[in-house]
Amino acid sequence: MNIVLLGPPGVGKGTVAAVLSGKYGVPHISTGNMLREAIAKGTELGRQAKEFVDAGKLVPDELVTKMVRERVAQPASKKGFILDGYPRTSAQARALQEFAAVDAVLDFTAPFKTIVERISGRRTCRKCSATFHIKYSPPKKEGICDKCGGDLYQRSDEKPGIITERLKVYEQQNKPLIDYYRNEELLSEIDASYHITEIEKIVKQCDEVLKNIKS
């Protein structure tokens, strides 16, 4: 089965995708991770992407689509895949349909207030990049990483005001993509407002959709 996950930053797509990947035996393909890996390895596509990233520009649709096409063509994706971070536009969605039929699109939703709380509470270690949350998974000692003793800090894009603006932009830019998949009758909304300790409630909703696909 070929699944696409949609949803704003901080809604929990990656966490649930990891569970679904293990459960259904299909790879979780995160385009963000894929881009970083390609750049780190210095592949041809990675070098091309790096030019745009270093210039502070978005990687062009054609380049991202080419990377996704190559990834889903690998043997590991023979039984299917879970795409996270692609497509981002209706143009990318149409391009995807040309080389991989999508069976279901899971749109993860949660109130802005919930997402802002999740993201703004994050703290990242400057030394080892480990992450904590001041409310849900705080470090043993405030401001200090449990793993390496490094300083914890809040990223500039994880401050409440900036997060709210990012969510508004996402909502505006993502509407055409949501409409596209709704018109294709592939879209299912997933209530992702539950806390991580209740992740099974989110996974259960996904299972209900995927069960119908399989049958």
Quick one: pLDDT at residue 133? 93
From the centroid of its chain, how far is CA 118?
Answer: 15
- Active site annotation includes 13: yes
Nearest C-alpha neighbor of 153 from the set 122, 177, 111, 179: 122
- Active site annotation includes 66: no
- Where does 2-111+171-214 sit in CATH, by number? 3.40.50.300
Residue 183 to residue 197: CA distance in whole angstroms: 34
The structure's pTM equals 0.85
* 42 Cβ contact partners less than 8 Å away, ≥ 6 residues apart: none
Q: Which of 71, 118, 122, 123 is catalytic?
A: 122
Torsion of CA 17, 77, 29, 95, to 10 degrees: -120
132-141, Cβ contacts within 8 angstroms, sequence gap of 24 or more: 136/195, 136/196
pLDDT at 215 > cutoff 60: no
- Active site annotation includes 166: yes
Nearest C-alpha neighbor of 145 from the set 162, 160, 125, 165: 125
Quick one: pLDDT at residue 52? 82
Q: What is the pLDDT of residues 30-77, one digit of tens each?
A: 988 888 888 888 888 888 888 887 776 778 888 889 989 989 999 999
Q: Are strands 104-109 and 122-125 parallel, antiparallel or unpaired?
A: unpaired
- Active site annotation includes 122: yes
Q: Which of 36, 66, 88, 182 is catalytic?
A: 88
- Active site annotation includes 94: no
Residue 49 to residue 61: CA distance in whole angstroms: 11
Task: Answer whether 68's CB lies under 8 Å from 83's CB.
Answer: yes
Helix (H, G, I), strand (E, B) or coil at 100: coil
Q: Which of 13, 71, 118, 123 is catalytic?
A: 13
Please state the φ and ψ torsions of residue 34, each to the nearest 5 degrees.
-65, -40
Domain locations in the chain? 2-111+171-214
Per-residue tokens: 166: 């990012």
Q: Which of 47, 155, 168, 175 is catalytic?
A: 155
